[in-house]
Amino acid sequence: MDKSTIITQMRQLIQLIAQHNHAYYVMDQPEIEDSEYDQLFHQLKGLEQQYPDCVQADSPISKVGGQALSKFETVTHTVPMLSLGNVFDETELYAFARRIEERLAQQQIQYDVELKFDGLAISLWYENGVLVRGVTRGDGETGELITQNVKTIRNLPKVLYADQQAVPELLEVRGEVLMPKAGFLRLNAEQQAKGEKVFANPRNAAAGSLRQLDPEVAASRPLAFYAYGIAQCVPHHGLETMSESLDWLTGFGFAIGEKHFVCDSIAAVQQIYLEINQQRPDLSVEIDGMVIKVNNLQQQKQLGFLSREPRWATAYKFPAIAALTTVEQIDWQVGRTGTITPVARLEPVAVGGVTVSNVTLHNIGEIHRLDVRIGDTVSVYRSGDVIPKVERVWTELRKPEQIYAPVQLPSHCPVCDSPVVMPEGEALARCSGGLYCSAQRIEAIRHFVSRKAMDIEGLGDRWVESLLHLNLLDSVADIYQLSEHREQMLQIDKMGEKSLQNLLDAIEQSKKTTLGSFIYALGIRGVGESTARMLANCFQSLDALKAADIDALKRTPDVGEITAEWIYDFFKAPHNIEILDRLIAAGIHWDAPLAPSRQPLNGQSWVITGTLSQMSRDDATQALQALGARVSGSVSSKTKCLVAGEKAGSKLEKAQKLAIDIMTEAEFIAFIASHNAGQ
Ligand code: IVH
In the DSSP assignment, the letter for residue 433 is T
Cα–Cα distance between 24 and 33 in angstroms, integer?
10
> From the alpha carbon of 115, which atom of ligand 1 is closest?
15
Ligand 1 and 84: CB distance under 6 A: yes
Q: What's the burial of 268, exposed, middle or buried (CB within 10 Å: 0-12/13-18/19+)?
A: middle
Binding residues for NAD(+): 34-38, 83-84, 114, 137, 176, 293, 317
Cα–Cα distance between 309 and 631 in angstroms, integer?
46
> From the alpha carbon of 121, which atom of ligand 1 is closest?
13
| 486 three-class SS | helix
**Closest by CA position to 58, among listed 85, 88, 31, 21:** 21
**Is 602-677 a CATH 3.40.50.10190 domain?**
yes
Nearest CA to ligand 1 atom 14: 228
Question: By the 8 A CB rule, do 172 and 79 touch?
Answer: yes
Ligand 1 and 114: CB distance under 6 A: yes
Cα–Cα distance between 9 and 3 in angstroms, integer?
10
Q: What is the pLDDT of residues 333-342, one digit of tens each?
A: 988 778 899 9
Ligand 1 and 203: CB distance under 6 A: no
Mean pLDDT lowest among 51-65, 255-269, 476-490, 549-563: 51-65
At 35, the amino acid letter reads S
Question: By the 8 A CB rule, do 250 and 281 touch?
Answer: no
**CA 286–ligand 1 middle distance (angstroms):** 14
**CA 116–ligand 1 middle distance (angstroms):** 7
| 449 three-class SS | helix
| 454 three-class SS | coil
Question: According to DSSP H, which parts of 220-337 are helical?
Answer: 242-251, 266-279, 297-303
- The confidence band for 23, taking pLDDT boundaries of 50, 70 and 90, is low
Domain ranges of the chain: 3-62, 74-317, 321-397, 418-593, 602-677
**Residue 46: enclosing H or E segment and its boundaries?**
helix 34-50
**CA 246–ligand 1 middle distance (angstroms):** 14
| 142 three-class SS | strand
Q: 480 or 602: whose pLDDT is higher?
A: 480
**Closest by CA position to 93, among listed 282, 313, 277:** 313
Neighbours of 588 (CB within 10 A): 19
Cα–Cα distance between 616 and 19 in angstroms, integer?
39
Testing ligand 1's pocket by substitution, the residue of 83, 84, 256 carrying the most ligand atoms inside 8 A of its CB is 84
Ligand 1 and 228: CB distance under 6 A: yes
Question: According to DSSP H, which parts of 55-141 are helical?
Answer: 90-103
Nearest CA to ligand 1 atom 22: 83
Testing ligand 1's pocket by substitution, the residue of 88, 176, 177, 294 carrying the most ligand atoms inside 8 A of its CB is 176
**Is 321-397 a CATH 2.40.50.140 domain?**
yes
CA pseudo-torsion sign 432, 433, 439, 443: positive
Mean pLDDT of the chain: 87
Q: Which residues are catalytic?
A: 116
Task: Enter the pTM of the model.
Answer: 0.52
Classify the phi-psi angles of 372: left when phi > 0, otherwise alpha if psi is within -120 to 50, otherwise beta.
beta
> From the alpha carbon of 86, which atom of ligand 1 is closest?
7
Mean pLDDT lowest among 4-8, 158-162, 166-170, 293-297: 158-162
- Diameter of the chain measured on Cα atoms: 92
**Residue 596: enclosing H or E segment and its boundaries?**
none
Q: 649 or 505: whose pLDDT is higher?
A: 505
Ligand 1 and 534: CB distance under 6 A: no
Give the dihedral of Cα atoms 539, 545, 551, 553; nearest 10 deg: 70
| pLDDT value at residue 34 | 64
Ligand 1 and 83: CB distance under 6 A: yes
Q: What is the pLDDT of residues 82-136, one digit of tens each?
A: 899 999 899 999 999 999 999 999 999 999 999 999 899 999 999 998 889 999 9
**CA 314–ligand 1 middle distance (angstroms):** 9
| 538 three-class SS | helix
| pLDDT value at residue 66 | 28
**Closest by CA position to 626, among listed 558, 545, 502, 532:** 532
**Closest by CA position to 641, among listed 598, 604, 676:** 604
> From the alpha carbon of 114, which atom of ligand 1 is closest?
15
Ligand 1 and 176: CB distance under 6 A: yes
Cα–Cα distance between 381 and 353 in angstroms, integer?
11
- Domain 3-62, CATH homologous superfamily name and number: Helix hairpin bin (1.10.287.610)
Indicate whether 69 pLDDT > 50. Answer: no
In the DSSP assignment, the letter for residue 76 is E
**CA 219–ligand 1 middle distance (angstroms):** 24
Give me the phi and psi of 528, to 5 degrees please: -85, -175
Ligand 1 and 315: CB distance under 6 A: yes
> From the alpha carbon of 175, which atom of ligand 1 is closest?
13
Ligand 1 and 116: CB distance under 6 A: yes
Cα–Cα distance between 529 and 197 in angstroms, integer?
15
Indicate whether 598 pLDDT > 80. Answer: no
Question: By the 8 A CB rule, do 20 and 30 touch?
Answer: yes
Binding residues: 34-38, 83-84, 114, 137, 176, 293, 317, 413, 416, 437
**Is 74-317 a CATH 3.30.470.30 domain?**
yes
Ligand 1 and 316: CB distance under 6 A: no
All residues at 6 or more sequence positions from 546 whose CB lies less than 8 Å from its CB, including other chains: 571, 577, 580
CA pseudo-torsion sign 447, 448, 454, 459: negative
Ligand 1 and 82: CB distance under 6 A: yes
Give me the phi and psi of 504, to 5 degrees please: -65, -35
Distance of CA 395 to the CA centre of its chain: 33
Nearest CA to ligand 1 atom 23: 83
Q: What is the pLDDT of residues 551-581, one digit of tens each?
A: 999 988 778 888 899 899 899 988 889 999 9
Binding residues for Zn(2+): 413, 416, 437
**CA 84–ligand 1 middle distance (angstroms):** 7
Buried b (16+ CB within 10 A) or exposed e, 276-300: bbeebeebebbbbbbbbbbbbbebb
| pLDDT value at residue 29 | 60
Testing ligand 1's pocket by substitution, the residue of 273, 288, 291 carrying the most ligand atoms inside 8 A of its CB is 291
User: According to the per-residue pLDDT averaged within each range, which of 110-124, 136-150, 280-294, 347-361 is highest?
Assistant: 110-124
Ligand 1 and 286: CB distance under 6 A: no
| pLDDT value at residue 48 | 86
Cα–Cα distance between 272 and 279 in angstroms, integer?
10
- The confidence band for 155, taking pLDDT boundaries of 50, 70 and 90, is confident
In the DSSP assignment, the letter for residue 304 is -
**Closest by CA position to 642, among listed 614, 671, 613:** 671
**CA 133–ligand 1 middle distance (angstroms):** 20
Nearest CA to ligand 1 atom 3: 228
Give me the phi and psi of 399, to 5 degrees please: -85, 135
Distances 385 to 117, 204, 465, 525 between C-alpha atoms, Å: 13, 14, 34, 29
> From the alpha carbon of 257, which atom of ligand 1 is closest?
15
Q: Which residue(s) pair with 277 in the sheet?
A: none
Question: By the 8 A CB rule, do 33 and 39 touch?
Answer: no
**Residue 37: enclosing H or E segment and its boundaries?**
helix 34-50
**Is 418-593 a CATH 3.40.710.10 domain?**
no
